[in-house]
Amino acid sequence: MTKRRVVITGIGAITPYGVGASKLWNGVVNGQSAISKIENMGDMTGHSVLIAGEIKESTFNPVDYFEPKEARRLDKYLQYAIVAAKEAVEDSGIKNSDIDPFRFGVIVGSAAGGFNTIQKSYYDMMTKGPTKCSPFTIPMLITDMGAGKISIELGAKGVNKAVVSACATSAHCIGDAFRSIQYGDADAVVTGGSEAVICTIGLGSFTAAKTLSKRNDEPTKASRPYDKDRDGFVMSEGAGILVLEELEHAKKRGAKIYAEVIGYGQTGDAYDVVAPCPDGSSAAKAMEIALKDAGISSDDVDYINTHGTSTHLGDIAESMAISKVFGDKTVNKKLHVSSTKSATGHLLGASGAAESIICINAINNSIVPPSINLENQDEEVANLNYVANKAEKATVNIALTNSFGFGGHNAVLIFKKYE
């Protein structure tokens, strides 16, 4: 069977930089940190972590996008997913008249789903009684509802699901959307991820796990992948959504094409629920599978947007994996590598989609965004060209992005300049 070619025709995002994929790109390429003191949670008494990549209430007002009653029935993660999806679909120019609804799909996931809803509903039930929560609690909190709500909004009746694999969620969603189109199950798929866990249950539980940075006095310097002085990742929130489309279908309707999806690899560490496999072997294998799927060699890749969360074990393992797969190319500076989580923070289940959008922009703008806050490189990470602190002009024909999740989930996507 001949695999069909798959291209990206629309992108949308909401991040701490604001509403819009262009704001995400402008923030990271200019080395602007999106990390700040948390405002939306109110009283922070008892919390030792006071910073995050937060979408401020002054930046995003749900009633600007939804009727007030509808907004109350949507968890934040659903609001973000729908807003980003609408931007991506509008950007793509695709209309219902362009496509059979049963060949128009939605694959959008979330690592955590409606954490804000879980927290509020639990409080209401404990203080008022076991049934005194909103009747919309379940559809507000379950992780598949982003895909469900988007499909309803769009009238998309094709493949409809949510992949959930922690911080690899949206990369797996994009990969599965790619496969659905490749093998003829769909002609277009709206795909990506959304996350909103900056609340007591989210912040408190990640703090208890000792995974978060406590650099509260310097928020913009808190996320520092590969730096010797890093002390954990910084939680962030938002959504990234892409419209993937079969090439001939896109060409027939005269769509603009951002880039082509050419490779997808996935593996499992089978090692630990939180820590990555120390030698990076499973992550390396996922990259090798993606390269084989794309029909290219490691020499063809110009840029890697890493998972790069700013944790000691994760940064080391991933750098070792990249060094294993890409060999000498890493030490002679031909391969550009950067972690844009240094600027955005970690969007958890939405990170793979946001970073896919960044890769697509790197391809189209011939510029590699930097790893900011890299002031004193850790000797334990592999000797890679981490594009420290300032963007670099470079020809980027092929970009690869890594996403790894708790539970040992590894997903790798490869994008190519469309010609």
Q: Is the pLDDT of residue 330 over 70?
A: no
Q: Cα separation of 263 and 268, whole Å?
A: 17
Q: How many CA atoms lie within 13 A of 219 on its CB side?
A: 18
CB 34 within 8 A of CB 16: yes
Residues of the chain with CATH 3.40.47.10: 7-252, 265-416
Cα separation values, 249 from 1, 108, 168, 322, Å: 18, 21, 28, 35
Phi-psi region of 50 (alpha: psi -120 to 50; beta: other; left: phi over 0): alpha
Q: Among residues 102, 54, 53, 109, which one has the least CA distance to residue 84? A: 109
Say whether 409 is catalytic: no
Catalytic-labelled residue, pool 167, 173, 199, 359: 167
What's the pLDDT at 14?
A: 98
The number of beta carbons lying within 10 Å of the beta carbon of residue 184 is: 13
pLDDT tens for each residue of 214-257? 999 999 999 999 999 999 999 999 999 999 999 999 999 999 99
Element (H, E) at 184: none
pLDDT tens for each residue of 385-418? 999 999 999 999 999 999 999 999 999 999 999 9
The number of beta carbons lying within 10 Å of the beta carbon of residue 281 is: 17
Instruction: Write phi, then psi, for 105 (nearest 5 degrees).
Output: -115, 170
Pairing of strands 303-305, 398-405: parallel
Say whether 307 is catalytic: yes
Residue whose tokens read 């890749």: 301
In this structure, whether the domain defined by 265-416 belongs to CATH 3.40.47.10 is answered with yes
Share of the chain above pLDDT 70, in %: 99
The two three-digit tokens of residue 364, written as one number: 């189209």
Catalytic-labelled residue, pool 172, 249, 346, 409: 346
pLDDT tens for each residue of 117-167? 999 999 999 999 999 999 999 999 999 999 999 999 999 999 999 999 999
Catalytic-labelled residue, pool 249, 307, 336, 409: 307
Element (H, E) at 405: strand 398-405
As a whole number, the mean pLDDT across the chain is 97
Angle between helices 169-182 and 351-365 in degrees, nearest 10: 70
pLDDT tens for each residue of 16-54? 999 999 999 999 999 999 999 999 999 999 999 999 999
Say whether 167 is catalytic: yes
Q: Is the pLDDT of residue 328 over 90?
A: no
Superfamily of domain 7-252: Thiolase/Chalcone synthase (3.40.47.10)
Q: Among residues 317, 315, 301, 325, which one has the least CA distance to residue 374? A: 315
Phi-psi region of 142 (alpha: psi -120 to 50; beta: other; left: phi over 0): beta
Would the CA dihedral through 250, 182, 404, 305 be positive or negative?
negative
